[in-house]
Every structure is written in structure tokens, then in C-alpha cells.
Amino acid sequence: MTQGKRISTDIGEDALQTIRALGAAAKAARLAAGEGQAAAAARLGVHVQTIGRVEAGEPGVSIGHMVGLLALYGVGLQPQQPQER
């Protein structure tokens, strides 16, 4: 498992890649808006370290913080139905 807060179960590499991609998207959107991590943290109501953890793609970050940061900068997520096996 990667660094960061422990999560209760091991998750697959595909899920870890998705978390990292979302973190990178959040960082790119924040930078495009011309804001620093401190400004993003103040707007989201979290500690600046939380922003860093989200952007680093740490798997133990709250999904609410991840989605909240993306939403601050207009990045939406569209859930997909599972594919049949």
C-alpha cells in the first residue's frame, strides 16, 4: 500500500491510479485558478495539509474532501455503473 493514512482494506492498483489522477486533476484546477493550497484549504474549511494529501493522491483522504476540492474548481465526477462480468 502507498504512503498516507491507513485504510481498512487493500485496494487495487486501478483504484490507486484513479485516486492519483483525481488528485492531479484537483491540483491542476487549483493552479489554473491561480490559487495556493492555503486559499483552497480556507475555502474548503480544512487544514492546508489536507489539500496536499488530496493532491498527492493519498488513498486515505476523505472522499468528501477529494470531491469538495474538485467541486471548488468546477471539476465534476460522473459515476459509472459497474460492467457485467
Instruction: Tell me the mean pLDDT in the region 33-40.
Output: 98
CATH fold for the domain made of 14-73: 434 Repressor (Amino-terminal Domain) (1.10.260)
Average pLDDT, the chain: 89
Rounded distance between C-alpha atoms, residue 58 and residue 46, angstroms: 16
Distances (CA, A) of 47 to 41, 43, 50, 69, 81: 6, 10, 5, 12, 33
* Amino acid identity at 34: G
pLDDT band at 1 (very low <50, low <70, confident <90, very high): very low
Residue 2: alpha-carbon gap to chain centroid? 15
Question: The pTM is what?
Answer: 0.82
